[in-house]
């Protein structure tokens, strides 16, 4: 994405509004610190010699961030040296260490997306012994080799037996429910985006945080920052983002969600006209089109938004989904929101086993005829003596099919063009490996999102090598020809 220097000022402007808004709802945030897991990635150059790096890396490396003036509302536990360390293990380790040392001062915990915060919790699960050792002895793990990082920590790290014992006591328990508030007892909310594709993480975050409020503060992309949530403590399902008209020139492509059962979109015979920011209508869905200061012209971001209201004259939008079809075997088209809903509906059946789906992805398997949907699930099983059995997981397959759209069910029932849906349960930690793999290939930790559909052979091989059991839908879902519903 092209960008220009002055774009940093615009991003800074949006960031600078977040805490004044939050302060309206959560007082006293100037009396403590924020534990944010923020990361940079290494930079590359384009063949033409331009610097190329993820948008957040360019922000964290900018003077706007590095030499920001002291602001009591924006004090982080992580020093710049930890955030700016390009080695992701060393960066995460030291950010966690600082977060633990300051545990009583932490008032909010966050990462850019929900997946990043869960990755930090997982990191704590894997590394608490060494972290506790460092706290007890006042010496730093030898894996932290970055000189400026070492220099910075050595000044702060003093032996603290009491803290080390506390961390050991909490982390060695089998049950990690509510671990966030146990370790950081003054946390008022989690600052992570859980709208759109990230909604999947809400139950897991609730589990680890004991149900702390989840604040989705802003809506942004590499192309352009769009706007902020003026009611950040609302429920995730009610989040609306107010577009800031000075971020870019915004236009909207009317989006018709109603597809005919054949999969053809008869509503779009004529190219729809672009609507200006002031002319959008409440209740309607649009695709976002931007013209940016940095040079994108009428660029389709790929996000579908629904207008929920106005703040003065600025429209507010609910994020619906990214405009992409995830899965298709025949004329069926399943998007991210439908798949998410199907997983949610099916996972209700896991409740009696006290289990939940922590991560999922999917693949349209067309190697066999007819092809079928494969959904990979990683489960959180809280009671290993009552883990979900084959029958339950088969019923989950069917429940997913029941949730999918009528074109899918028609393919299953009437056309026999789609085979029974399959759930492949993968080993714990598989999605973590998937993320490691993506990062090793150049993805950014901050901006990483679990792909909800995978086709790339090495990733498929990785997933398939971690499968512990496979289950197929045992029956046909409901479908009747009279009404397409
Ligand atoms: P990237 O440029 O890789 O950071 O991705 C930007 C995309 O992430 C946006 O176009 C959205 O699809 C998604 N995204 C960013 N912020 C939010 C948000 N607050 N809620 C839902 N999706 C978001």
The tens digit of pLDDT for each residue in 113-171 reads 887 898 899 899 999 999 999 999 999 999 999 999 999 998 889 999 999 999 999 99
Percent of the chain scored above 70 by pLDDT?
A: 95
Predicted pLDDT of residue 482: 59
In this predicted model, what pLDDT tens digit does every residue of 336-388 receive, in sequence order? 889 999 999 999 999 999 999 999 999 988 877 788 999 999 999 998 899 99
The pLDDT mean for the chain works out to 91
Taking alpha carbons only, the member of 455, 452, 460, 474 closest to residue 426 is 460
| Residue 196 alpha carbon, nearest atom of ligand 1 | 21
CB of 244 sitting under 6 A from ligand 1: no
The rounded distance, in Å, linking the Cα atoms of 284 and 267 is: 14
Structure tokens that stand for 3 in this block: 């960008």
Q: Taking residues 11-30, report their average pLDDT.
A: 97
Predicted pLDDT of residue 262: 34
Pocket perturbation via mutation, ligand 1, pick of 54, 115, 219, 241 by most ligand atoms within 8 A of CB: 219
| Residue 1 alpha carbon, nearest atom of ligand 1 | 2
What count of Cα atoms within 13 Å lies in the side-chain half-sphere of residue 13? 13
CB of 301 sitting under 6 A from ligand 1: yes
In this predicted model, what pLDDT tens digit does every residue of 284-319 receive, in sequence order? 999 999 999 999 999 999 899 999 999 999 999 999
- Whether residue 288 contacts residue 250, with contact meaning beta carbons closer than 8 Å, is answered with yes
Q: Whose CA is nearest to atom 4 of ligand 1?
A: 221
Read off the pTM: 0.77
Predicted pLDDT of residue 197: 66
Statement: residue 259 has pLDDT above 70: no
Residue 332: what are its φ and ψ, rounded to 5°? -65, 145
352, burial (CB in 10 Å: exposed 0-12, middle 13-18, buried 19+) = exposed
Max CA-CA distance within the chain?
A: 73
* Domain ranges, ordered by start, for the chain: 5-216, 241-322, 327-472
Statement: residue 256 has pLDDT above 90: no
Taking alpha carbons only, the member of 261, 259, 228 closest to residue 243 is 228
């Amino acid at each position: 994405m092209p960008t220009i220097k002055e774009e940093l000022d615009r991003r800074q402007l949006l960031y600078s509004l977040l805490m004044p808004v939050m302060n309206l709802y959560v007082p006293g945030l100037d009396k403590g610190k924020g534990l944010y897991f923020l990361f940079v990635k290494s930079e590359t150059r384009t063949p033409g010699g331009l610097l190329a790096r993820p948008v957040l890396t360019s922000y964290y490396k900018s003077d706007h961030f590095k030499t920001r003036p002291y602001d009591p509302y924006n004090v982080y536990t992580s020093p710049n040296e930890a955030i700016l360390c390009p080695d992701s293990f060393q960066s995460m380790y030291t950010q966690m260490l600082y977060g633990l040392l300051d545990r009583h001062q932490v008032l909010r915990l966050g990462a850019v997306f929900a997946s990043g915060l869960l990755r930090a919790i997982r990191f704590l699960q894997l590394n608490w012994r060494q972290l506790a050792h460092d706290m007890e002895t006042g010496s730093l793990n030898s894996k932290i080799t970055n000189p400026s990082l070492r220099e910075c920590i050595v000044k702060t790290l003093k032996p603290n037996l009491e803290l080390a014992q506390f961390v050991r006591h909490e982390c060695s328990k089998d049950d990690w429910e509510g671990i966030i508030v146990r370790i950081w007892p003054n946390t008022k909310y989690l600052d992570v985006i859980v709208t759109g594709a990230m909604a999947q993480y809400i139950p897991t975050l609730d589990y680890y945080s004991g149900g702390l409020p989840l604040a989705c503060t802003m809506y942004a992309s590499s192309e352009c920052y769009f706007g902020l949530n003026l009611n950040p403590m609302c429920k995730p399902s009610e989040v609306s983002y107010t577009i800031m008209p000075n971020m870019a020139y915004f236009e909207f492509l009317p989006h018709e969600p109603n597809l005919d059962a054949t999969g053809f979109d008869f509503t779009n015979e004529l190219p729809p006209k672009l609507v200006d920011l002031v002319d959008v209508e409440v209740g309607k869905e649009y695709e976002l089109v931007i013209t940016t200061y940095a040079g994108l012209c009428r660029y389709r971001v790929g996000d579908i938004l629904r207008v929920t209201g106005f703040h003065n004259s600025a429209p507010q939008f609910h994020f619906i989904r990214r405009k992409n079809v995830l899965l298709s075997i025949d004329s069926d088209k399943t998007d991210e929101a439908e798949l998410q809903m199907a997983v949610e509906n099916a996972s209700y059946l896991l409740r009696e086993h006290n289990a939940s789906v922590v991560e999922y992805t999917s693949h349209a398997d067309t190697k066999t005829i007819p092809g079928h949907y494969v959904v990979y699930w990683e489960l959180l099983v809280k009671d290993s003596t009552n883990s979900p059995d084959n029958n339950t997981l088969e019923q989950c397959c069917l429940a997913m099919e029941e949730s999918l759209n009528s074109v899918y069910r028609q393919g299953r029932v009437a056309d026999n063009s789609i085979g029974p849906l399959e759930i492949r349960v993968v080993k714990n930690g598989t999605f973590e490996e998937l993320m490691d793999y993506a990062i090793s290939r150049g993805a950014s930790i901050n901006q990483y999102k679990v792909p909800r559909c995978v086709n790339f052979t090495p990733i498929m091989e990785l997933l398939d090598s971690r499968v512990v059991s496979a289950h197929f839908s045992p029956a046909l879902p409901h479908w009747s020809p009279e009404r397409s519903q």
